Structure 1
Amino acid sequence: MATQSPARGMSREELLALPVAVDLDTANKALTIGRSTGYALAKQDAYPVKVLRLGNAYRVITADLHRLLGLALEPAAGPGGPRQP
């Protein structure tokens, strides 16, 4: 008898390696949301981050996932680096 392994999210390294936008299944995995629940939330406009509908496909901006998960990167310093007080 096969046993199912518990759903697991993604490691920090996996999250930081994601492309700019991901499909809903990848976002669900990152947020440890089941597939059915994730799609139901997206259809109800209740997903934890903004979901883009492109034809029949759903996409999530990775930066939104990073912010929600506390992985948001600091903005890069402009030319000349950070200002000194």
Structure 2
Amino acid sequence: MVGMSRAELLELPVVIDLVTAARALGIGRTRAFELVRQGEFPVPVLRVGSTWRVPTAPLLSLLGLAT
């Protein structure tokens, strides 16, 4: 699993999919979905239809990159 560079993180759109958020955190897809199901994903996660979306601002804040 390859994480994301600072530049890549700062270029993310306002809301991203769960797999991209997992990549930013350096965790795998399976673990990310597991954490969501357990209510333990470290940032807010939104259910939109059948997909999960993650607001980027809390993710960047968690990573110390808040603008």
- TM-score, normalization: structure 1? 0.76
Query: Highest Rg: 1 or 2?
Result: 1
Superposed displacement of residue 41, structure 1: 0.5
Structure number with greater CO (CA < 8 Å, separation at least 6) is: 2
- Equivalent residue runs for 1:53-64 within 5 Å: 53-64=47-58
Gaps of 5+ in 1: 1-6, 74-85
Q: Which has the higher helix share?
A: 2
Write out per-residue CA displacement over residues 2-57 of structure 1, whole angstroms, 9 at most, x where no aligned residue. Answer: xxxxx121000000000000000000000011110000101111001010011110
Q: 2:3 matched to 1:13?
A: no
Separation in 1 of the partners of 2:7 and 2:17? 18
Query: Taking every aligned residue pair, what percent have the same amino acid on both sides?
Result: 55
- Equivalent in 25, 41, 65 of residue 31 of structure 1: 25
